[in-house]
């Protein structure tokens, strides 16, 4: 049942990560030279990026099913790989509008590949595939 919940969370996380980072990045592009954000649109862009960071942290840190991080990682890495295979087609997959331009910028800069690798790492830890009550953490003796 834990893996079904991870699967559902992973499916929900894919558009949240993609649209949240794309829209937030597009809104914060106009902040240059270390100047503080002035408009409400820029502040909302930083809030969107912070929300995506919080979401990524919430699916990385606790012992959820690895499927919760694998599905967004697979989507990001496949899109990054498609960029190397056929750039025009990969860029064409981005939606139109502010979120799409931000997604394209993040894709072309390689940040989606970096985020995909970071989300893929919990998949490599076998302990995350077992339930919590399967662990041998109950009784520990120093001398047997």
pTM above 0.85, yes or no: no
Q: How far is CA 95 from CA 54, 57, 101, 104, 131, in A?
A: 24, 26, 8, 9, 39
pLDDT score of 57: 86
Q: Which two tokens stand for residue 39?
A: 């408009």
pLDDT score of 128: 67
Query: Residue 110, by phi and psi: left (phi above 0), alpha (psi -120 to 50) or beta?
Result: left
- Residue spans of the chain under pLDDT 70: 30-37, 126, 128-129, 131-144
User: Residues 58, 27: contact at Cβ < 8 Å?
Assistant: no
pLDDT score of 142: 43
pLDDT score of 140: 45
Return the closest-CA partner of residue 119 out of 64, 57, 62, 63. Answer: 57
pLDDT score of 80: 93
């Amino acid at each position: 049942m834990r893996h079904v919940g991870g699967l559902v969370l992973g499916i929900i996380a894919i558009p949240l990560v993609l649209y949240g980072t794309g829209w937030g990045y597009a809104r914060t592009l106009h902040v240059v030279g270390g100047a503080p954000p002035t408009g409400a649109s820029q502040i909302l862009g930083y809030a969107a990026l912070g929300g995506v960071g919080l979401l990524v942290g919430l699916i990385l840190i606790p012992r959820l099913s690895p499927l919760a991080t694998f599905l967004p990682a697979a989507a990001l890495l496949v899109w990054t790989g498609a960029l190397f295979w056929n750039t025009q087609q990969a860029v064409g997959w981005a939606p139109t509008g502010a979120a799409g331009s931000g997604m394209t910028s993040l894709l072309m800069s390689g940040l989606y590949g970096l985020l995909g690798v970071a989300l893929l790492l919990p998949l490599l830890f076998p302990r995350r595939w077992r339930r919590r009550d399967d662990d041998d953490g109950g009784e520990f003796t120093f001398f047997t």
